[in-house]
Amino acid sequence: MYFDLSQVPFSKRGSYFAVSELTDSIKKDTQKLCLRTVDGFSFIPGKTRDAGKTTIFRFIPLYCGNPIPYSAQASPCELQLKTEFGNVLICFADNSTILMRGEGEKLSLRLSFENRAYIYESGPGHSEIEGVCGQLGLRFRAGLLLGKMSMLQNWDGTGAEYSSIEFSPTGGCFSAAFQELTAGRKKDLTQYDYVSCRDQARQDFEKFLRKMPSVPEPYLKAKELAAYVLWESIVEPTGILGREAILMSKNWMCNIWSWDHCFNAIALSYHDPGLAWEQFMLMFDFQDKAGVIPDCVNNACASYTFVKPPIHGWALSKIMQNMKLSIEQLEEAYLKLSLWTNWWLDYRDHDQDGLCEYFHGNDSGWDNSTAFINSPAVEIPDLAAFLILQMKELSSLARNLKKFSQAEEWEKKANTMLDTMCSLCFKSGVPSARQAYTHQEVPNDSLILYLPVILGKLLPANILSGLLNTLKSKRFYTSHGFATESPQSPFYQSDGYWRGPIWAPSSMLIIDGLYRSGEKGLAVEAASRFVEMVAQNGFAENFDALTGEGLRDRAYTWTASVFLILAHEYLKGRPETGNPSLTEPPLL
C-alpha cells in the first residue's frame, strides 16, 4: 500500500515524529518534504497550527552538490525519495530515531533545518552532530553510519539563521541516523540495521491491521489505509500522558479531544480491547474533583477552556457490545461516568429548568453551528439526549455492580430529563434550540437539532416520527450523507466547518439513531453513502456535502474509525438488512 504524503503523514506507532509534504505552506517548491514534530511541548493545546511551524528540517536530495527534483513514495514501513540519479530510503528505527540510506554514486542528502535550529559537532572523531531547536523544545543528533557527513551554519550569536547537515556517499552509498535526544535515550546509533528496522515496522503495522474489524471486499484497500491512519497517529506515553494515545491527526489536529477519542475506542473494541479501553479512559485520567474532563489534551498539558458533549455513556454501551469488561473496569467506568454526568447536572443548568446548556459551540463539538448564531448559553436537545443515554447506561452499570438503589435513581433522572426535553425542546413536535433564561428559540437549520434520534424508540411516537420524516427528506440528506447545515439554509457553506460539511461523528450518531428507531434500511443506505464517500476521498476531517470532496485535515482518526465501524456493522455485520446498493433511495 502506498499513500499520498500531502494528505497522510509518514510516521509509526509511538513516535512524535512525522514526515509530511508541505503543499499548502511552501508553494512552487520542489523541496517540500519535511520532518516535523507533533510533541505537545512545541505548541499550545486547543489550537491548530501551521505544519510549517512544527518543521525540524526539510529533506533535500543532491546530485553533485545541487538540489534535484524527486518523487516521494510512502508505505507504512518505508519512504522512498526517487530521483533519476538514485534513491534515498527512510524508515523509523524506533519512536525517536529515523534512518536514512542513499543509493547512488553522487547522490547526497541535505537536512535543511528550520525554526532557528543550531548545530555543533560532537561524538568520537566528529562522527556525530548535535543540535537544538529552542522554538520546538527539541534536542537532537545526527550520526553517520556509512559515507561522509558535513555541516553548514550561519550563526548569529544566539541561534542560526540557517543550518544544515549533509550526508554523502562512499562507494555509491551512505547511511545515517537522526535521533531526538531526551533523558535516557542516547543510544549507540551503530546498533540500527536499516533492513531489520524497516521489516520490524512492517510487522508491527500488519499485526495492528489484523485487529481491525472486517469490511466488505470492495473496501479492503480503504480499510488498510484507515488502519494505517490510526496506527501512525498513536503516540507513546510521555509527559502527562500515562497511556498510549491516538491523536486526532499528526497533520495539524495533534491533540486528543474529549469526544473524538470515543469513536476511536469503539473501532478498536472489536479485536483490540486493551488499546480500546486505554483510549476510552484516557480523558478521564484528567478528570477534576468536580467531575469535568478537559476539552483536549496532549503530552504537555490539558485545556479546560471548553468541554465536549457527554457521548461517553453511549460510546461505552457500544464498546461493551464488542468486549467484556472486568469488575474493576466496570467500577472505574461507573465512578468516572457518574462524576462526569453530575458535573453537567450541577454546573450546566444555570436557569434550573431541568435542561443543561452549552456555553459555546465548542462545548457541543459543533463549533460554529448556527444553533449558536445569536449568543450563548444555549439549550439544545442533543445534550439532553446524550445525558439521558448516559444516565441509562449508569443505571445498567449500577445493576451489574449490584448498586440497585443507585440504578433506580439514575433511571428516574433519565426519565425526568426525557420528559423535560420533550416538553421544552419539541413544542409541536419540532426540535428547537433555546437561549438559556429567556428561552427564546434560536432560528437555525442545523442538523444538531436532529441528533436526539439517537434515543430511538425512547422518544414519544410523534416526536420520533417528526425527526425521521425530516432525516428522510432532502433537507439534510444528500447523495453523500447528512449535511450539518441544510444546503437550503442561507448560512450553508461548502467548506463551512459545521455549517454544511458532512462529518464522521454526526453521521455515525444519526445512523445509529436511525437503526435504533427501526429505520434499518435507511441506516444501511446512509452508512453506505458515507463509506463510499470516504473510500473515494480519503479520511478527511470533513467533506463537502454536495460533492463528497475531502476538506481540512486529510488524515483524521475519527473519520477512519467511523468508516471502519459503519463498513463493518452496517455493510457487513448486519446481514438481515440485505446487501445495500449505492443507488439513490426514494426521498420525501
pLDDT of residue 334: 98
Percent of the chain with pLDDT over 90: 88
- Dump the DSSP string for 186-248: ---GGG--HHHHHHHHHHHHHHHHTTSPP--GGGHHHHHHHHHHHHHTEE---TT--S-EE-S
Take residue 379 and report the three cell numbers written for it. Answer: 439549550
What's the whole-number mean pLDDT along residues 393-420? 98
Residue 536, CA distances (Å) to 471, 504, 567 in order: 24, 15, 14
465-501 residue pLDDT tens: 999 999 999 999 999 999 999 999 999 999 999 999 9
pLDDT of residue 575: 40
Q: How sure is the predictor about 23, in pLDDT bands with cuts at 50, 70 and 90?
A: low
Can you give the residue ranges of every domain in the chain? 17-183+192-204, 211-577
Burial degree of 84 (CB within 10 A; 0-12, 13-18, 19+): exposed
503-517 residue pLDDT tens: 999 999 999 999 999
On whether the CB atoms of residues 194 and 101 are closer than 8 A, the answer is: yes
Find residue 99's DSSP bridge partners.
Answer: 91, 177
Whether the per-residue pLDDT at 45 is higher than 60: the answer is no
Cell 470533513 locates to 542
Distance CA 340, CA 335 (A): 9
User: CA 284: distance to chain centroid?
Assistant: 18
DSSP at 56? E
Q: Which of 192, 158, 187, 160 is nearest to 175 (CA)?
A: 192
On whether the CB atoms of residues 78 and 56 are closer than 8 A, the answer is: no
241-250 residue pLDDT tens: 999 999 999 9
On whether the CB atoms of residues 269 and 578 are closer than 8 A, the answer is: no
The CATH architecture annotation of domain 211-577 reads Alpha/alpha barrel (1.50)
CA atoms within 13 A on the CB side of 359: 11
Residues 6+ apart with CB under 8 A from 118: 131, 132, 153, 155, 159, 160, 163
Whether the per-residue pLDDT at 432 is higher than 50: the answer is yes
> Hey, what amino acid is at 366?
W
More confident residue, 244 or 126: 244
- Output b/e per residue, 421-438; b: 16+ Cβ within 10 A: bbebbbeeeebbbbbbee
pLDDT of residue 25: 41
Distance CA 336, CA 389 (A): 15
Collapsing DSSP to helix, strand or coil, 331 comes out as helix
Whether the per-residue pLDDT at 582 is higher than 90: the answer is no
Distance CA 503, CA 161 (A): 42
Percent of the chain with pLDDT over 70: 93
- Output b/e per residue, 351-372; b: 16+ Cβ within 10 A: eeebbbbbbebbbbbbebbbbb
**In 233-302, which residue ranges form alpha helices assigned H by DSSP?**
260-268, 273-281
Take residue 225 and report the three cell numbers written for it. Answer: 489505509
pLDDT of residue 46: 47
Residues 6+ apart with CB under 8 A from 430: 466
Take residue 81 and report the three cell numbers written for it. Answer: 525519495
Collapsing DSSP to helix, strand or coil, 467 comes out as helix
Whether the per-residue pLDDT at 28 is higher than 50: the answer is no
Write the Ramachandran bin of 215: left for phi over 0, alpha for psi from -120 to 50, otherwise beta: beta
Burial degree of 490 (CB within 10 A; 0-12, 13-18, 19+): exposed
Determine which of 126-130, 166-170, 430-434, 512-516 has the lowest per-residue pLDDT on average: 126-130
75-124 residue pLDDT tens: 999 999 999 999 999 999 999 999 999 999 999 999 999 999 999 998 66
Q: What angle do CA 70, 76, 78 make, to 5 degrees?
A: 45
Distance CA 150, CA 248 (A): 38
Cell 420520533 locates to 464
User: Which H helix or E strand runs over 406?
Assistant: helix 404-425
Take residue 173 and report the three cell numbers written for it. Answer: 552509498
Whether the per-residue pLDDT at 186 is higher than 70: the answer is no
Residues 6+ apart with CB under 8 A from 294: 258, 283, 286, 302, 303, 304, 307
> Hey, what amino acid is at 403?
K
On whether the CB atoms of residues 267 and 275 are closer than 8 A, the answer is: no
What value does the mean pLDDT of the chain take?
Answer: 93
Distance CA 297, CA 302 (A): 4
pLDDT of residue 211: 98
CA atoms within 13 A on the CB side of 300: 14
Distance CA 269, CA 247 (A): 17
pLDDT of residue 574: 56
Determine which of 153-157, 345-349, 558-562 has the lowest per-residue pLDDT on average: 153-157
What's the whole-number mean pLDDT along residues 13-24? 87
Q: How sure is the predictor about 30, in pLDDT bands with cuts at 50, 70 and 90?
A: low
